[in-house]
Amino acid sequence: MERNEKAKKLRIYVSNTDAYRNEPLYQVLVRTARELGMAGTTIYKGVMGYGTSSDLLPLDSWANAEKVPVTIEIIDSQAAVQDFMATVAPILQEQPKGCLVTMQDVDILYIKHGQNRD
């Protein structure tokens, strides 16, 4: 991806307790993105949140809560995002408590490529 390029931002909202085959779901999704050669992925751990399948805990219990929201964010070309979604859709469909996936257009304003450390 380069400066002034159009891209897509994919966001997947799950819980840190969601799993696929005994592995945290967010790790499965990030590993899959890397295996597909996507530009990059970031995981955001939430402090507080709720969704259609969970109750909002009182604020004082969040300090010790083990279940927190997690957002996986990926920015890449539309084709790459569509390939990723086609690959992970069956995994997301299996999630018993659900998840939310959004996609929006983004403009790349600045990008500095780093060196690969592999």
The tokens describing 59, both together, are 């604020």
Q: What three-state secondary structure class fits 10?
A: strand
Q: What is the C-alpha separation between 118 and 103, in angstroms, rounded?
A: 29
With beta carbons less than 8 A apart as the criterion, state whether 20 and 28 touch: yes
Q: Looking at residue 14, what is its pLDDT?
A: 93
Q: How confident is the model at residue 4 (pLDDT cuts 50, 70, 90)?
A: low
Closest Cα partner for 80 from 10, 31, 30, 29?
A: 10
Q: Looking at residue 57, what is its pLDDT?
A: 57
Whether pLDDT at 56 is above 80? no
Average pLDDT value over all residues in the chain: 86
Residue 110: count other Cβ atoms within 10 Å of its Cβ: 6
The string of pLDDT tens digits covering residues 66-102 is 788 899 999 999 999 999 999 999 999 999 988 999 9
With beta carbons less than 8 A apart as the criterion, state whether 65 and 73 touch: no
Q: Residue 72, exposed/middle/buried by CB under 10 A (0-12, 13-18, 19+)?
A: buried
Q: What three-state secondary structure class fits 62?
A: helix
**Percentage of residues in the chain having pLDDT higher than 70:** 82
